[in-house]
């Protein structure tokens, strides 16, 4: 009974083969022996890193929305753009639906995901469990697939290559801030191992009930 209680079973997301990954140590990872699909990785400092990445990412997002993103100069005319202005211009041009999608996918959803990850990781680092952590975690796992941070930034880089031949482009503070935010967002999501997260959440829930 003790061995069963201490086991951590996980099914391969590709072929559903069941594994016991409770014997993994810090730094070790598990992959499916049948199809090679990644299963989980144990990181002793995973939640601390997640907390740090989330804090830094939110700071960079604020920077990315507060200063000029790009400025264009051609034939003596200069245009300065910020991230919030991109959605405002789409709205002014009669495309409120597109403006809502752009604002949601590149600013709102990623920002909410990082804020919730910061909240959850802070609770786990402090060894606290609350009932709302379970539905909030499910919400985060669902929302992170709708964040298009890296897609937007890659699209901007591709556009700069084309626009650079027609105008002088200056990348502002927000450009670098949002670029750092994109890297930190990817790092935060990468630190969130679902198997280890749910295992730790179950452990904290058991400790809370024992009290």
Structure tokens at 137: 């975690």
Q: Hey, what domains does the chain have and what are their CATH numbers?
A: 1-42 (no CATH), 44-210 (1.20.140)
pLDDT at 78: 64
The tens digit of pLDDT for each residue in 23-57 reads 888 888 888 888 888 888 888 888 999 999 999 99
Phi, psi of 147 (to 5 degrees): -80, 125
Distance between CA 210 and CA 45 in Å, rounded? 25
Mean pLDDT of 66-93: 78
Structure confidence at residue 1 as a pLDDT band (50, 70, 90): very low
**58: closest CA among 152, 187, 185?**
185
pTM of the model: 0.84
Reported for 136-144, long-range contacts at CB under 8 A and 24+ positions apart, including other chains, are 137/197, 137/198, 137/201, 140/113, 140/116, 140/192, 141/194, 143/109, 143/112, 143/113, 144/113, 144/189
For residues 73 and 148, the answer to whether their CB atoms sit within 8 Å is: no
**pLDDT tens readout for residues 146-187:** 888 888 888 888 877 777 677 677 788 998 999 999 999 999
Strand residue runs (E) in the chain: 9-11, 18-20, 29-31, 38-41, 70-74, 77-81, 168-171
CA-wise closest residue to 32 among 209, 205, 195, 206: 195
74 strand-pairing partners: 77
């Amino acid at each position: 009974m003790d061995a069963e209680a201490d086991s951590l079973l996980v099914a391969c997301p590709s072929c559903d083969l069941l594994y016991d990954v409770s014997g993994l140590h810090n730094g070790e990872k598990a992959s499916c022996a049948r199809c090679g699909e990644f299963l989980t990785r144990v990181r002793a400092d995973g939640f601390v890193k997640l907390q740090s990445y989330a804090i830094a990412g939110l700071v960079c997002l604020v920077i990315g929305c507060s200063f000029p993103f790009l400025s264009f100069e051609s034939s003596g005319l200069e245009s300065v753009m910020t991230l919030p202005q991109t959605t405002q211009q789409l709205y002014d041009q009669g495309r409120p639906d597109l403006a809502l999608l752009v604002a949601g996918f590149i600013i709102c959803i990623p920002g909410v995901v990082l804020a919730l990850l910061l909240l959850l990781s802070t609770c786990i680092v402090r060894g606290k469990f609350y009932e709302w952590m379970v539905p909030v975690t499910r919400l985060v796992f669902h929302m992170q697939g709708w964040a298009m941070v890296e897609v937007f930034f890659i699209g901007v880089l591709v556009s700069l290559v084309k626009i650079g031949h027609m105008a002088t482009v200056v990348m502002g503070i927000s450009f670098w801030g949002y670029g750092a935010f994109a890297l930190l967002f990817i790092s935060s999501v990468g630190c969130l191992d679902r198997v280890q997260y749910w295992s730790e959440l179950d452990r904290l829930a058991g400790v809370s009930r024992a009290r």
